[in-house]
Amino acid sequence: MTDSLPDHSWPTLDPGWVWLCGAGPGDPGLLTLHALNALRQADTVIYDALVEPAILEWAPQAEHIYAGKRGGKPSPKQRDISLRLIDLARAGKRVLRLKGGDPFVFGRGGEEAQTLVQHGIPIRIIPGISAGIGGLAYAGIPVTHRDINQSVTFITGHDQSGETPSSLDWQAIAKGAETLVIYMGMKHIARITTDLIAAGRPLSEPVAVVTTATTDTQQVLETTLAEAPAAIAEAALEPPAIICIGRAVLMRQVLDWQAMLAGHPPRSTDPLGRGCPAESA
């Protein structure tokens, strides 16, 4: 079933194995070739809420099992999903566990993989493009940019109970990376922005909220730290959303390639006021 993949020695998904695979943030074109190779061979695909339906159509021969969780709600239970994977593998299925984005980025892929290994199930891990990187790129926001930041912090706005992670040290986060990328931050956006402002981040700091990034329904809201909660409510934005905080958001004025594709000129060609980077390098 690997006939339409480029010539390469693609691994075989053998019966009894589980491959934990990232499906990318949405646009099926952002799958990896390893993911496509896995879709072609699987008997069973167990997928999450954030996996685009179009991707499953690339595994027509497989049984598709939904194992989604939403908004930190614990159903179906993580333990049940892991046990299901074990049962399927022991029944001799070729199992593809497909997760949105990258399986090891806020996706509990590590927990599932650990449980499988503990039960003697052979695994392969296939990384994917995480929404916090690829989703922002589709919005024209570079997570690193030489004139802006040398580090970036990825944060989850939920902990296991669905609350704002009380273990997060917002003082330290505020003083750390210039660019903050928040997953699952919508529910607690008011608390998060208040904490960051209290920790010294400017009220006027640029914020972008990108919902259903890379899909046909992608929306991007540009706002500021002070105004973000009200602006999100006013625009009636819903999760899933990636929230980016920092001057990287300004780069969208020159890098919003989807707007340019639609015929709009860039709003600015030099949003940081730094001249022409390639010529000053």
Binding flag, residue 45, ligand SAH (CB under 6 A):
no
Strands 241-245 and 152-156: unpaired
Q: Compute the least distance from the CB of residue 108 to ligand SAH, in Å.
A: 8
How far does CA 276 lie from the centroid of its chain? 31
Catalytic annotation present for 3: no
Residue nearest to ligand SAH (CB): 101
Binding flag, residue 228, ligand SAH (CB under 6 A):
no
Q: Where are the alpha helices (DSSP H) in the chain?
A: 33-41, 53-56, 78-90, 109-118, 136-138, 170-175, 189-198, 228-234, 252-255, 257-261, 277-280
Structure-block tokens of residue 246: 């920092």
Q: What is d(CA 64, CA 56) in angstroms, rounded to the nearest whole number?
A: 8
User: Interacting stretch for ligand SAH, rule CB under 6 A, among 117-125, 171-179, 194-202, 206-214?
Assistant: 206-214
Question: Applying CB under 6 A, what is the total number of residues that bind ligand SAH?
Answer: 24
Neighbours of 8 (CB within 10 A): 10
| Residues in 59-98 at the binding interface with ligand SAH, rule: CB under 6 A | none
Sheet containing strand 206-211, edge to edge, reads 152-156, 179-183, 241-245, 206-211, 219-224
Distances (CA, A) of 222 to 43, 80, 206: 43, 39, 7
Q: What is d(CA 182, CA 191) in angstroms, rounded to the nearest whole number?
A: 13
Catalytic annotation present for 48: yes
Cβ proximity of 252 and 139 under 8 Å:
yes
User: Interacting stretch for ligand SAH, rule CB under 6 A, among 111-119, 170-178, 204-212, 267-275?
Assistant: 204-212
Q: Compute the least distance from the CB of residue 135 to ligand SAH, in Å.
A: 5
For ligand SAH, the closer CB: 93 or 136: 136
Binding flag, residue 212, ligand SAH (CB under 6 A):
yes
For ligand SAH, the closer CB: 106 or 170: 106
Binding flag, residue 210, ligand SAH (CB under 6 A):
yes
Structure-block tokens of residue 232: 């999100």
Let me know how long the chain is: 281
Query: Which of 183, 206, 223, 250 forms a contact with ligand SAH (CB under 6 A)?
Result: 183
Q: Compute the least distance from the CB of residue 128 to ligand SAH, in Å.
A: 7
Query: Which of 106, 143, 174, 229 forms a contact with ligand SAH (CB under 6 A)?
Result: 106
For residues 139 to 178, the per-residue mask of contacts with ligand SAH, x marking binding by CB under 6 A and - elsewhere, is ----------------------------------------
Give φ, ψ of 123 to 5 degrees.
Answer: -130, 160
Catalytic annotation present for 260: no
Query: Which of 41, 130, 164, 193 forms a contact with ligand SAH (CB under 6 A)?
Result: 130
Binding site for ligand SAH (CB under 6 A): 25-26, 50, 99-102, 105-107, 130-131, 135, 183-184, 210-214, 239-242
